[in-house]
């Protein structure tokens, strides 16, 4: 059994649960309701507060603040949680907040993510696996980011927005509406600028699948996203097109970013 290494200057509450082989560096603070999985590394000056769990082999870099109270004026100190998966890399000055009673009470982060310096995940967000937030990207409350999403540097995602699997948000972009899976969004007020071709090719999408997605996107741009998607869903479609159509027809509080004309 690997022993955990805790620096003498770290303040770790005796009630915290510390997994095997953890490393807690100088001047870290770990609260009483925190659970660290096996091999978690807190490099130095990291604060982990609240009812927070961090999955195996996640590394948190200096000056990150994880699990502190939400930046929501409606929060009244209710018991809520932040759940972080395994093998994430959480860089300097990242902030991640737990949920709120009104938003379901839980913020979830998947596995194998990279959260670059200064990025922010707000209360009640649901973040998938292999998500990348580039430097100073911010995700507001109640958002859903599915697997393999990339949010470019200095970009913002409005509250309650959904971003589908494999989508990419360019740098310095404000996202105010839902983004379809595999979409590419960029611009000061983001618009849908086609498909995330680089991401699709990296994931092994065939030429036929990409052409089918392009055809679908062209048809969606000719009218209401949901009305057109409903009509298209009645015909046969490949798995990637079907995934996008199901996403569009799923529950949402927001409209969709339309293709750029």
Active site residues: 123-124, 141
Question: 35-36 and 17-18 as β-strands: parallel, antiparallel, unpaired?
Answer: parallel
Q: How far apart are CA 14 and CA 10, in angstroms?
A: 12
Closest CA to 39 of 11, 83, 2: 2
The sign of the torsion formed by the CA atoms of 176, 159, 256, 167 equals: positive
Q: Where does residue 103 fall: left (phi above 0), alpha (psi -120 to 50 degrees), or beta otherwise?
A: alpha
Q: Are 157 and 212 in contact (CB under 8 A)?
A: no
SS3 184: strand
Closest CA to 62 of 31, 30, 28, 87: 28
């Amino acid at each position: 059994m690997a022993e955990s290494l805790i620096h003498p200057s770290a303040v770790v509450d005796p009630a915290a649960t510390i997994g095997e082989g953890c490393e807690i560096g100088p001047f870290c603070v770990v609260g009483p309701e925190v659970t660290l999985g096996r091999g978690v590394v807190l490099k130095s000056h990291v604060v982990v507060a609240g009812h927070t769990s961090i999955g195996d082999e996640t590394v948190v870099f200096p000056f990150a603040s994880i699990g502190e109270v939400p930046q929501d004026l409606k929060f009244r100190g209710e018991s809520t949680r932040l759940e972080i998966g395994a093998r994430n890399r959480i860089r300097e000055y990242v902030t991640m907040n737990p949920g709120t009673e009104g938003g379901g009470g839980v913020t979830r982060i998947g596995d194998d993510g990279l959260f670059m310096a200064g990025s922010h995940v707000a209360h009640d967000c649901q973040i998938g696996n292999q998500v990348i937030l580039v430097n100073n990207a911010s995700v507001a409350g109640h958002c859903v980011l599915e697997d393999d999403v990339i949010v470019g540097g200095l970009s913002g995602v409005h509250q309650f927005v959904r971003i589908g699997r494999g989508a990419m948000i360019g740098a310095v972009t404000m996202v105010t509406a839902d983004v379809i899976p595999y979409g590419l969004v960029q611009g000061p007020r983001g618009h849908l600028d086609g498909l995330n071709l680089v991401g699709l090719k990296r994931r092994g999408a065939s030429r036929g699948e990409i052409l089918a997605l392009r055809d679908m996107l062209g048809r969606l741009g000719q009218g209401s996203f949901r009305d057109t998607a409903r009509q298209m869903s009645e015909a046969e479609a490949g798995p990637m097109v079907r995934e996008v159509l199901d996403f569009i027809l799923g529950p949402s509080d927001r409209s969709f970013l339309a293709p750029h004309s």
